[in-house]
Structure 1
């Protein structure tokens, strides 16, 4: 079967990187530190994938804007304390290697900061794996389609040849807004029941299932 997609864009946290639970706890602790109403785990998980300040403002609507810098500082404090506890989901590297061997362009479209993404991409196992990336602090945050459009423009790939993979409705809505196909994963931040309205090609319930679907369908 001829290849359907030339460019595959992956979300990072909750899709490739096993960080959802720690991010949610760091959001809760940061809100508590500035005296806001602490969001539930579900509320904190929902905002994962947005740009940091957009996410924190959404998770803590009673925190006044003048405290946002402090809120961001406290989040980063808690996250840095736990960043060495994080790792790629099991099976991610073999999946990326298999896609790379097919000459598909692999990119990252993430709500992380450029500094945060670059720190994890410096690990030896990830050097040279991704062809490009966009982060929320250097372009528009999800679900705005700008980061996907920039990646497509950079590599000269049209929307119909681009696939977005993510664990949140923000990821799938961004793909829809950009005119791209999407695949959802159910093992990250959002409950997959919400995905169906956004018409993903598939919802994978494990990295192994995602790997097998991508090899068979992209």
Structure 2
């Protein structure tokens, strides 16, 4: 298989942000005196739209409390912004894919404001042919993000691979009938990723780079 479009999730796949998201959810719960989810409960919802994620991670969160909770979550997350960085090797991997004229895109549960800020901070604003966020279309695992990206870039499903660290990413790939690859260095465990039948489950950025470079261009 030769792929001409590689779609990446952002948090936990390109950026090392899983711990910051979990910590921000837990801190916002403490601020509002709500039951605090475990790290595994909070990390499971990463990749979903923020409101969907919070309703799963914090079942006692009411609609009336949601605006205040979102305010506290965003505050705690932004306080950790200086700690956020791309995983080692990501920048080089993207540069090598671009050198082979592979189109790249991002499909993320982040908001548009959040993704734009992350792209600017990491210097990757011009790296992707298309990006989709959960606040401008349907959230994962609905396949609409991928359908919209494929339409915008002009690539058929059989030339597309979706890379992500959660079962939500891989289920979205399956729903869109594109190939999926899971990475274990993010939010979800290997067993959960493997249960979705991806093309591969990979343990490191270096391993992902090797896998992709042998299948593109």
Q: Sort the TM-score into its range (normalised by shorter chain).
A: over 0.9
C-alpha spacing 1:109/1:124, structure 2 compared with 1 (3 Å) = closer
Residues in 2 aligned to 1:144 and 1:166: alpha-carbon distance in whole angstroms: 15
Q: Which residue of structure 2 aligns with residue 21 of structure 1?
A: 19
TM-score computed with the length of structure 2 as normaliser: 0.97
Greater shift, 28-37 or 94-103, is seen at: 28-37
Gaps of 5+ in 1: none
Distance 1:85 1:209 in 2: 24
How far is the alpha carbon of 1:106 from its aligned partner?
A: 0.5
| Gap change, CA 1:124 and 1:30, over 3 Å in 2 | closer
Deviation at 1:124, TM superposition (A): 6.2
Structure-to-structure mapping, 1:70-81, within 5 angstroms: 70-81=68-79
Q: Which of 171, 174, 177 is the equivalent residue of 1:173?
A: 171
Runs of 5+ unmatched residues, structure 2: none
- How far does the alpha carbon of each residue in 1:74-129 deviate from its partner, in whole angstroms, 9 at most, with x for none? 11010011111100000001100011111111100000000000011113632321
**Aligned equivalents of 1:63, 1:32: Cα separation in 2:** 12
| Rounded Cα–Cα distance in structure 2 between residues aligned with 1:123 and 1:64 | 34
SS in 1 for 2:195: helix
- Where 2:161 maps in the other structure, the secondary structure is strand
Provide, for residues 138-162 of structure 1, a one-character-per-residue CA deviation record: whole Å limited to 9, x for no partner.
0011111111110011112111111
Q: Which residue of 1 aligns with 2:127?
A: 129
Question: Is the aligned partner of 1:69 residue 2:64?
Answer: no
Query: Aligned-pair RMSD on alpha carbons?
Result: 1.1
Alpha-carbon separation, structure 2, partners of 1:88 and 1:135: 18
Verify the 8 A CA contact 1:56 1:71 in the aligned structure 2.
Answer: no
State the aligned residue count.
216
CA distance in 2, matches of 1:123, 1:63: 32
CA 1:145–1:28 in 2, change beyond 3 Å: closer, same or farther?
same
Aligned equivalents of 1:117 and 1:124: distance in 2?
Answer: 10
C-alpha distance in structure 2 between counterparts of 1:22 and 1:176, whole Å: 28
Distance in 1 (alpha carbons) for counterparts of 2:123 and 2:58: 36
- 3-state DSSP of counterpart to 1:198: coil
Secondary structure of 1:184's partner?
strand
Displacement of 1:25 after TM fit?
0.7
In structure 2, the residue matched to 1:84 is 82
Deviation at 1:198, TM superposition (A): 0.9
| Runs of 4 or more consecutive aligned structure 1 residues displaced over 3 Å after TM superposition | none
SS in 1 for 2:214: helix
